[in-house]
Amino acid sequence: MTDHPAPADHPIVKSLLRLIRAEAGGAWDGEPDDLLLSPFIVTKQAKRELPLIGDPDPDVLARVEKFYTAIGGEIEHRTGKAITPILNIHHEGWGRIVLITGRLVAVTAHVRELHRFGFQDLGQLIEKAEKLVADGVAAIEKYPDVVDA
């Protein structure tokens, strides 16, 4: 928000990389960041070629979860409030995601066509994440009594 670090140094991207490497239990520690982030990048052309038939791959849903977990982590970092992400995703690839703190829904997102989940590039990933983080932080600052209710 305030500064513009290189994409790979952005806290959201670093969070994502931590979550990806944590899941692999050390097996991916030596893999380059670009390679680990590459499944999050899906160009428009690639999206068109992904069929919406059938259920999205479980790996896609794991990426969606990591993206919103990283957003929750960044909101925690900026506000000091504990965030719980709740994903309610239908196996066909649509649903709702909320990030909750106390009695406040800090972030709410409706998602669909998750078969095609991904971003044009790392810049777009950061931009979308920043928007959700800013939204969550603003809500927490606006309703402190609901957060601590």
Place of tokens 């849903």: 61
Beta bridge partners of 94: 90
Residues within the interface to a second copy (CB under 8 A): 84, 86-88, 96, 98, 100, 102-106, 108, 139, 142-143, 145-146, 149
Query: What are the structure tokens assigned to 128, written together?
Result: 């979308």
**Beta carbon of residue 124, minimum distance to a second copy (angstroms, whole number):** 26
**Beta carbon of residue 100, minimum distance to a second copy (angstroms, whole number):** 6
Nearer to a second copy, 104 or 125 (CB): 104
Nearer to a second copy, 42 or 89 (CB): 89
**Beta carbon of residue 35, minimum distance to a second copy (angstroms, whole number):** 31
For 105, residues 6+ apart whose C-beta sits below 8 A from its C-beta are 98, 99, 139
Nearer to a second copy, 122 or 137 (CB): 137
**Beta carbon of residue 87, minimum distance to a second copy (angstroms, whole number):** 7
Nearer to a second copy, 9 or 148 (CB): 148
CA distance linking residue 7 with residue 115, whole number of Å: 25
